[in-house]
Structure 1
Amino acid sequence: METDSVVIAEQKDRDLEANALKDTINGSIAGAFGKLIEYPFDTVKVRMQTQDAKTFPTTWSCIKYTYKNEGILRGFFQGIGSPIFGASLENAVLFVSYNQCAQFLEKHAKVTSLQQTVISGAFAGACASLVLTPVELIKCKLQVSNLQNLQAGIKKPTKILPTIKLVLQERGVMGLWQGQSGTLIRETFGGVAWFSTYELLKNYLKSLHDDGRDSDTWELLVSGASAGLAFNASIFPADTLKSVMQTEHMGLLQSAKRVMAKSGVAGFYRGLGITLIRAAPANAAVFYTYETLSKLI
């Protein structure tokens, strides 16, 4: 009997390791695909967040300026290499940490299904923030650098490696984590909104099936899109602070004061419209790709 229990325990450990590997692979692919869809919208969002209303009165004015002066690839996709890598790593961390935490709670804690989702979502977001901060720091600098170069009459675009090197020279390794507090707040609360919305809506739509079949494609897409909307709508002010912290080298409170001084409360929501537009298809793609790959592998 003791031998049997040891064998069962070892098999469970192997299953956990296999599941973690699957989550890493599937999450990485899903994250890269979603980032490719959302990146042009993200460029506009960051520029709206970091520039005042005089530069870009509306989202459309930002889009027109970027296209006219920089084109599509250089303007909207500037610096995409770092975010593609970051999105792969982020989603790998998100799905691995979320599922591992959920399995731990299921085994060791007496919590409801909703409590399990909330706790696991917060934990996954907190873990992902450590990966995201340096990636988004470089991304934000590249997205804003083209604009600053144009305003200064410089046509040469900024590259990823020189930007990383400059940060390291000026602020050391820890300079890559400028804005970590903003990212931690955003991702912890955002992780709750993201996973909870997806799981609740997916399970609700699935419960409407009379034959007990798996979720349909449209249900996964709608659930993923809704999760993206919930995430971005709930944490957008924190995302604005994070962008200002990383592009202006400011602390959290100093960034908040700067936004308030320049644009008031509305300043915390500049770029929200374009963000919600990009969130629906990008997050639908992330969850659908992840779910599809999980069934195949």
Structure 2
Amino acid sequence: METDSVIITEQSRQPRNNALWDIVNGSIAGALGKTIEYPFDTVKVRLQTQGAHLFPTTWSCIRYTYQREGVLRGFFQGIGSPICGAAVENAVLFVSYNQCAKLLDRETNFSSLQKIVVSGAFAGSCASLVLTPVELIKCRLQVSNLASGKPTKIIPTIKSVLQERGVLGLWQGQSGTLIRELFGGITWFSTYELMKGYLLHRHEDGGADGKSTTWELLVSGASAGLAFNASIFPADTLKSKMQTEQIGLFSCARKIMAQAGLGGFYRGLGITLARAVPANAVVFYTYETLSKM
């Protein structure tokens, strides 16, 4: 299969980075990507968790947030936790992906694409464990200005969660996050590797030098972000609502269906896809560039 041969050619030229540099490079890439995407993410979370009576459209949410709360207090409310979380998340994603792929490289029964799928699923599952508490605090902060009496700072919000539900309360929405990250990890890494391999294979030398151009890395990263967000968005909506309303997975799904039907699972998809392009392009480009240094 031509697609598979492209991946094999690409991967055979690039040794897996050691774990320490995966952690460092992934952390830097994740923090940069989160800074770019955060204003978009705030709008997305508000659309997912608030009814259409408050925000009938994406632009109504943007206008409301800007007019009532301004740029920093509105769009960047609670960014400290997500930046730290994105650094940890991407460190875990890249180190677990590469370590799993390195282990599978010893096996001859797996095709190149199968290795990517298994490694992506493993990386996403690992990331979900560290991502759930971070996103819980992030989501609560992003809607805190809409609800009177809710903490609007990171530490008070964490204390509030601990007082209400204990330590395990920080993992409220873990099932939604696991579903999202497991399938999202497969989609994210597979799309990136396939697109990168395809673009590299188009070079005059057939990609023999193993070097992707800047635009190829950016396009591959942007494509991965689009595929990831488009494929797992209903799970992300469930996760956001579970964390802000403190309800279970099935109760949350039934509530969304009762209130808004199937379309309720896709509120905020447009702004999410818009944010995915620059953020994921920067994440993969930064990681690849740092890895080559």
TM-score normalised to structure 1 length:
0.91
Does structure 1 residue 33 correspond to structure 2 residue 32?
A: yes
Q: Distance in 2 between matches of 1:196 and 1:105?
A: 15
Q: Does 1:259 align with 2:253?
A: no
* Match of residue 93 from structure 1: 92
- Which AA in structure 1 matches 2:152? T
In the TM superposition, 1:13-52 aligns within 5 A as: 19-52=18-51
User: Within 1, Cα distance between the matches of 2:108 and 2:93?
Assistant: 21
Per the alignment, residue 237 of structure 2 pairs with 240
Q: What aligned pairs does 1:46-195 form with structure 2 within 5 A after superposition?
A: 46-149=45-148, 158-195=152-189
Q: CA deviation at 1:109?
A: 4.9
Q: Please state whether the residue corresponding to 2:105 is helix, strand or coil.
A: helix
1:221 maps to which of 215, 218, 223: 218
The amino acid that maps onto 2:63 is K
- The answer to which structure has the higher helix fraction is 1
Q: Deviations over 1:91-146 (max 9, x none)?
A: 00000000000000011352000000000000000000000000000000000111
Instruction: Please give the alpha-carbon distance, in whole angstroms, between the structure 2 residues aligned to 1:60 and 1:99.
Output: 40
- Return the letter of the residue paired with 1:273: G
Per-residue deviation, 1:63: 0.1
Report deviation, 1:292. Answer: 0.2
Q: Residue type of the partner of 1:240?
A: T
Residue deviations 1:34-59 (CA, integer Å, cap 9, x gap): 00000000000000000111100000
Pick one of 282, 287, 293 that aligns with 1:285. Answer: 282
RMSD: 1.3
Which residue does the alignment assign to 1:11?
none
For residue 157 of structure 1, report the CA deviation from its aligned partner. 6.7
* 1:205 has 2:202 as partner: no
| Matched positions, count | 276
TM-score by length of 2: 0.92
Q: Which runs of 4+ in 1 moved over 4 A?
A: none
1:230 counterpart (209, 223, 227) = 227
Amino acid of the structure 2 residue aligned with 1:231: F
Q: How far, CA to CA, are the matches of 2:286 and 2:80 in structure 1?
A: 20
Letter in 1 for 2:86: A
| % identical aligned pairs | 75
AA of the residue aligned to 1:164? I
Report the counterpart of residue 6 of structure 1 in structure 2. Answer: none
Letter in 1 for 2:46: R
Residue identity in the other structure for 1:105: L
Deviation at 1:261, TM superposition (A): 1.1
Q: Secondary structure at the match of 1:110?
A: coil
Distance 2:151 2:188 in 1: 34
Deviations 1:151-200 (A, max 9, x none): xxx7x971000000010011000000000000000000000000000000
| Partner SS, residue 147 of structure 1 | coil
Q: Aligned equivalents of 1:264 and 1:210: distance in 2?
A: 51
Alpha-carbon separation, structure 2, partners of 1:77 and 1:117 = 34
Residue 120 of structure 2 contacts residue 189 of structure 2 at CA under 8 Å; is this kept in 1? yes
Letter matched to residue 254 of structure 2: K
C-alpha offsets along residues 246-266 of structure 1, whole Å, 9 cap, x if unaligned?
000000000001111111100
SS at match of 2:146: helix
- Using the alignment, how far apart are the partners of 2:108 and 2:185 within structure 1? 20
> C-alpha distance in 1, partners of 2:32/2:58?
24
Is 2:247 the partner of 1:250?
Answer: yes
Q: Which runs of 5+ in 2 are unaligned?
A: 1-14
